[in-house]
Amino acid sequence: MSAQSHPPSPWGKGWGWGFGIGVVPPPQPLSNGEGLPSRAISLALAALLGILATSAQAQDIAITNATVVIGDGSAPIAGGTVVVRGGKVVAAGAGVPIPAGIPVVEAGGKWVTPGLVVAVTDLGLLDVEAVDESNDIEGDKGPFSAAQDAATGINPAAEPIAVSRAGGVTRAAVAPLSTNAIFGGQGAIIDLGHDADAVNRARAFQYVQLDEAGARRAGGSRVSAHAILRNALIEARDLARRFGPTVTAGDPRLANAMPERPGDALLTRFDAAALIPVVNGTQPLYVRAERAADIRLVLALKEEFSALKLVLVGAGEGWLAAREIAAAGVPVLATPLGDLPDRFEILAATQSNVGRMAAAGVKVGLGAFGDQPRYAPQYAGNLVGLTKVPGATGLDWGKAFAAISSIPAEILGMGDRFGSLKVGRAGDLVLWDGDPLEVTSGVVAVWIDGAAQPLDNHQTRLRDRYRTPTEGELPKAYEW
């Protein structure tokens, strides 16, 4: 078989950090951009790798001769350069000068993109989904709902974070939690850096379900869910009034004041307090809704609660209400590629949903796809594929990539921090061995805030152990 005749793998023992430069033949030369002789270049590579292997500190770096993807919807730029200093992008594009003395990665035509941003994931909240003890999503036997704070469950060392990082995901929005009510708690925005400090923004948004699943949590009907939501927002507004203006600046759950509340209050004080920023419009409300009729009801909430900052999640039938969504200026984190009438609320599901909403002027990012965040590029690539299918609506390449980078970042309110390679954004870079939306491509290197990231994980170590499955002189357990 042809598989027997290829050259030996470049992965050797001790390549523990999995830093990919040099992994994919031909070996990637490293130059400083000023024509240093080869010995100097290899010293520079060693120095660079040395830095990488000992710390996750931000470092200045230039990646040159790359196909550069800015991530803002524009087309890829061949022969481009990206420069990161002080953990931030200082330049990206064609004809960018390389600052003197900065370590340079010669990309040899490989692709550089912003790190992927995946919204509405369970990253960090679990190790193994089906192992209850390792799963911190399921809090529905607890007393609180809206007050639950996803940031308090995030484990930066969780293996799914390492695996997702190796797939090019650098930032994520973590929600919803499974609670005792329609509220999915307060979501967190995290980075996937190999360090102890994952949470970028805690309590970044509140999550509520106004879909079929929410109806079940509400006692069995959408009607009940809508009543519960309105009552909750009114109780929050009432509690804010009783607190007075001083407590609403920080985390209102932790306010010292304990004002009297009406005896018929349904929400716990903690839950009601958590909803104050929602009803004030300082914390976005992410609303899961699928059916076109449900989406229209969500948009109409603004008539009753004018300060709400709404984000639609899911929106499986969004294309049927695309003009209304666009007119309301409500962005969407859409589940991509759903095309089965799997529930009665998505009878009109089609893979063209995202493309049709975007064409109608809706700001659409991909999210809430329910499986591994590292699949984001495959989903985006499929949307590009749709552009060749008669009668279907997809996205062009630039917009498809933006749907997994800058657009979700903007929807998260972090568009000025990360999600693109515009000047001043975080130095979240991914180096790919080919077109990043193509399923045969893979990640070569990742930086987050300018810090080179390890890409090894449980899976890569199993791969290396079982590349040759039979035992050698010692059991497999001694190969590590």
Q: Shortest Cβ distance from residue 436 to other proteins (Å)? A: 10
Measured from the CB atom, the residue of 166 and 233 that comes closer to other proteins is 166
Q: How many CA atoms lie within 13 A of 305 on its CB side?
A: 26
Note the residues at the interface with other proteins (CB under 8 A).
Answer: 1-4, 6-11, 23-24, 127-131, 159-160, 163, 292, 317, 320, 337-344, 347-352, 372, 378, 381-382, 384-386, 388-392, 433, 437-442, 458-459, 462-463, 466-467, 469-470
Q: Shortest Cβ distance from residue 340 to other proteins (Å)? A: 5
Rounded distance, CA 408 to CA 202, Å?
17
Measured from the CB atom, the residue of 355 and 450 that comes closer to other proteins is 355
Residue with tokens 């509405």: 120
Rounded distance, CA 410 to CA 153, Å?
24
Nearest to 69 by CA among 117, 116, 113: 113
Nearest to 409 by CA among 127, 110, 173: 173
Q: Shortest Cβ distance from residue 433 to other proteins (Å)? A: 7
Kindly calculate the radius of gyration of the chain based on its CA atoms and give it in whole angstroms. 24
Rounded distance, CA 81 to CA 399, Å?
21
- Per-residue tokens: 121: 């994931």
Q: Shortest Cβ distance from residue 331 to other proteins (Å)? A: 23
Q: Shortest Cβ distance from residue 148 to other proteins (Å)? A: 23
- Per-residue tokens: 420: 């693109």
* Total residue length of the chain: 480
- Asked whether the beta carbons of 58 and 88 are under 8 A apart, the reply is no
Which DSSP helix (H) or strand (E) runs through 53?
A: helix 38-54
Measured from the CB atom, the residue of 224 and 378 that comes closer to other proteins is 378
Q: Shortest Cβ distance from residue 455 to other proteins (Å)? A: 11
Measured from the CB atom, the residue of 11 and 17 that comes closer to other proteins is 11
Measured from the CB atom, the residue of 225 and 444 that comes closer to other proteins is 444
Measured from the CB atom, the residue of 350 and 420 that comes closer to other proteins is 350
Measured from the CB atom, the residue of 4 and 306 that comes closer to other proteins is 4
Q: How far is CA 136 from the centre of its chain?
A: 19
Q: Say how many C-beta atoms besides its own lie within 10 A of residue 239's C-beta.
A: 25
- Asked whether the beta carbons of 278 and 308 are under 8 A apart, the reply is yes
Q: Shortest Cβ distance from residue 284 to other proteins (Å)? A: 29
Give the angle subtended at the CA of 77 by the CAs of 76 and 78, to the nearest 5°. 115
Measured from the CB atom, the residue of 385 and 413 that comes closer to other proteins is 385
Q: Shortest Cβ distance from residue 12 to other proteins (Å)? A: 11
| End-to-end Cα spacing for the chain | 29
| 3-state helix vs strand vs coil in the chain, percent to 5 | 30, 20, 45
Q: Residue 116, by phi and psi: left (phi above 0), alpha (psi -120 to 50) or beta? A: beta
Q: Shortest Cβ distance from residue 55 to other proteins (Å)? A: 26
Measured from the CB atom, the residue of 307 and 462 that comes closer to other proteins is 462
